[in-house]
Amino acid sequence: MTTEMTPVRRATRQLIQPDLPEFDSSGLDPALRTAIADLLLTMADDEFVVGFRDSEWTGIAPMLEEDVAFSSLAQDEIGHARLLYELRSALTGEDPDRLAFHRQPSEYRHARLLDQPRQGWAFTIARRWLYDTADSIRLAGLAASSFAPLADVVAKIRREERYHLMHLNAWLERLGTHHGKPRGKVLSALKALNPIASSVFAPIANEEMLVDAGVLSAPMSVLAARWRSEANARLCALNLRPISDAPPAADGRDHAVPDESFVWLWNEFTSVARLEEGVEW
């Protein structure tokens, strides 16, 4: 709308366009480079979508503290998404803004677990707890990645996610052990989410190549089993319904026919970007 950017506008702009440290990826095998880029897109899309889901609570959470907490969670996750889109862009030459805001709903690669509308507070807590526990196992599987720029970023992300997990664990316990309505709501949320809970670990393209190259410590199915065993120990301790043993569905990140709840969210988060092509805001 204007060619001159004020400092505030530039700062806002750079929220989705940071300066990622430069690195040389020219030595990477092209197939491996594509596999890493695909992995980064799944992670970035997860963080982006969960971040926007979190931001839906700003102003309407059950208590003021949670307005603040969920706004912080959202800011953290969008920050992680931004960095991961940027990392992918450094490999593919894409524009991170375009990745974030200018794809069709069917092109996003987030886990189906995050498609669901936010619904009530107990549902949000249950879904977010499932996502955070899964994400922490995935991040642990990347901590020693042979792709150094990813290992560096993951080290930083894990330090922040520790607080998210602490918060979600506390809420799961608070609601799950409160007999009556809160516990009932958590139980029905876990039941409803069970079939898609493991979608965070849906197989991704060329997983074996990533594992062989030491980018990822183990195949997604192995990480899923690790997650299930840790998450179920916690759920059982709270006498809550464990996650079923079924392996992650192959289509856990497939949005060829996008979920209508995600299309609604997509319309929300792309609304400003779609106002005018190439607009600065």
Partner 1 sequence: MVAPSMAVIPLESAVWAALHDVHDPEIPTISVVDLGVIRGVSAEQGRIRVELLPTFIGCPAITVMQDAITERLRGFADEVSVDISFAEPWTSERITADGRAALRAAGFAPPSQDVVVECPYCGSRDTRIENVFGPTLCRAIYYCPDCRQPFEQFKEV
Question: What is the contact surface with partner 1 in residues (CB under 8 A)?
Answer: 7, 10-11, 14-15, 18-21, 65, 68-69, 71-73, 75-80, 82-83, 149, 152-153, 155-157, 159-160, 162-163, 166-167
Closest CB 10 distance from partner 1, rounded Å: 7
Closer to partner 1 at the Cβ: 157 or 235? 157
Residue 279 three-state SS: coil
Closest CB 269 distance from partner 1, rounded Å: 16
Closer to partner 1 at the Cβ: 82 or 109? 82
Distance in angstroms between the alpha carbons of the first and the last residue of the chain: 8
**Residues 199, 168, 143, 26, Cα dihedral to 10°:** 60
Closer to partner 1 at the Cβ: 160 or 259? 160
Closest CB 258 distance from partner 1, rounded Å: 27
**Neighbouring C-alpha atoms within 13 Å toward the C-beta of 225:** 4
Helix locations, 111-253, DSSP H: 121-140, 148-176, 181-193, 207-212, 220-237
Closer to partner 1 at the Cβ: 5 or 187? 5
Closest CB 152 distance from partner 1, rounded Å: 4
Closer to partner 1 at the Cβ: 121 or 201? 121
Distance, CA of 20 to CA of 82 (rounded, Å): 10
Closest CB 66 distance from partner 1, rounded Å: 9
Host H or E run for residue 43: helix 30-55
Is-contact 139 80, C-beta < 8 A? no
